[in-house]
Chain A
């Protein structure tokens, strides 16, 4: 059962040039966002809120497990997020708390943020780091390829109070559905 060489099924060299053009192993795009300088604001413009981007790379944890914690603190104020992570039992929570405190300190020292509590978590997510592959031995000479996982964690703190998300109850959803049904009509009819 030898593999038949189908040229069309494989990727042509011309197509190869457009693969993997943006992200590479050493790309530090998130950190570069801290270097962007905005032009001076005119006095009648609303005050632009300060933003701080921070990340930690190659954390020895799973990106899927990290995602749960990252999703939990999205939209929280910094103090609330730190409190929640401090009393969470997961390993990733301790690392995330360190990252957020570092980001807060950076914001006050270098990015002209006035009050360190006046920050909220605007974006927070985890990404895949480099994986090391090892053999996991099973019985009967079988083996599995074990992945030693690493992940990155990215967080963006913005100055100001956290935005209020409007809570929609199930009744609101039901009303909207009924209204949608009532809005149905037949166009171009007599």
Chain B
């Protein structure tokens, strides 16, 4: 702040000195100061960046960025498609009604147990095609292997080991298994197998071009498992640690036959339409009611909560 004042004073002093002759200087006579003195306005020591940045940048911005070494990520307009697994289950197996409900000693039970896969011709054809590519394939060993894959995949899910899950489970099945589980703790254990696993269905669809074969084999498994799901805060959300449950499942295992590095991986599960309802979660959930106009009132007594229809779906 002292600098501008000093500058002005210096100029004024110089102006007076110029006018004074030697004789007058000795007498110290001051003439009137010239009117035209360069007095500056208050110097702005701080200029906010917005004022300086008014000048728009000219020139080639691309060349400048390249010279400076700035690399921008290229925008991808393509969507990646994964060809190591199919997108769904083709020609799904429809499990017979009352499977695993009847006692094995009755006549119907024996019939069910004795149901050989040789009934279905297309399944046999599919198995023959699989044996062309993989000569060591047999239904008995494969059923055991399928159960092993299932148990390993679920154990990896409890530890949330991403690499291992990806090697045991296809890309289609992975999000279904892991959605919403990232911040939850899952305790799962396979207690025992009640019946030996059986191959019940096989299909060999070829995708896009002829000869691009994928094999999908359905395995029926009856076993005892325990499941306990805890939420982010360690509170029990679903199931219980000690109580095991009997589970009848139809697993679909898939492999890309043409690919020499293809592995048998879990592709999905088939839930039959007659499956019993699952246990409810330990939480009250609000189901939105019907949309009413301003005049209507909700008939709470006669109102029925809409239930989803019993359809076979695959997960």
Query: Do A and B bind?
Result: yes
Residue B232 at the A interface, CB < 8 A?
yes
Given contacts A1-B3, A112-B283, A134 and B183 within 8 Å (CB-CB): no
Q: Does B235 contact A47, Cβ atoms closer than 8 Å?
A: yes
Asked whether B183 lies within 8 Å of A37 as measured between CB atoms, the reply is yes
Inter-subunit contact B232/A112 (CB<8 Å): yes
| A37→B185 contact, CB < 8 A | yes
Which of B48, B228, B230, B231 makes the CB contact (< 8 A) with A135?
B48
In the A-B complex, the 8 residue pairs with the smallest Cβ-Cβ separation, listed nearest first, are: A112-B231, A41-B234, A40-B230, A38-B234, A133-B48, A48-B233, A40-B234, A141-B41
Contacting residue for A112 out of B41, B42, B47, B235, CB 8 A: B235
Kindly state the interface size class of chain B when it binds its partner. 20 to 34
A37 and B231 CA atoms in complex are apart in Å by 8
Chain A stretch 94-148: residues in CB contact (< 8 A) with chain B: 111-112, 114-115, 132-135, 140-143, 145
User: For window 141-157 of chain A, which residues contact chain B by CB distance below 8 Å?
Assistant: 141-143, 145
Min Cβ gap A97→B in Å is 21
Distance from A142 Cβ to chain B, minimum over Cβ atoms (Å): 7
> What mask results when residues 40 to 56 of chain A are scored 1 for a CB within 8 Å of chain B, else 0?
11000001111100000
A to B CB contacts below 8 Å, 29 in the list: A37-B183, A37-B232, A38-B234, A39-B234, A40-B185, A40-B230, A41-B230, A41-B233, A41-B235, A47-B235, A48-B233, A48-B234, A48-B235, A50-B232, A50-B233, A50-B235, A51-B233, A111-B233, A112-B231, A112-B232, A112-B235, A112-B237, A112-B283, A134-B50, A135-B48, A135-B51, A141-B41, A141-B42, A145-B48
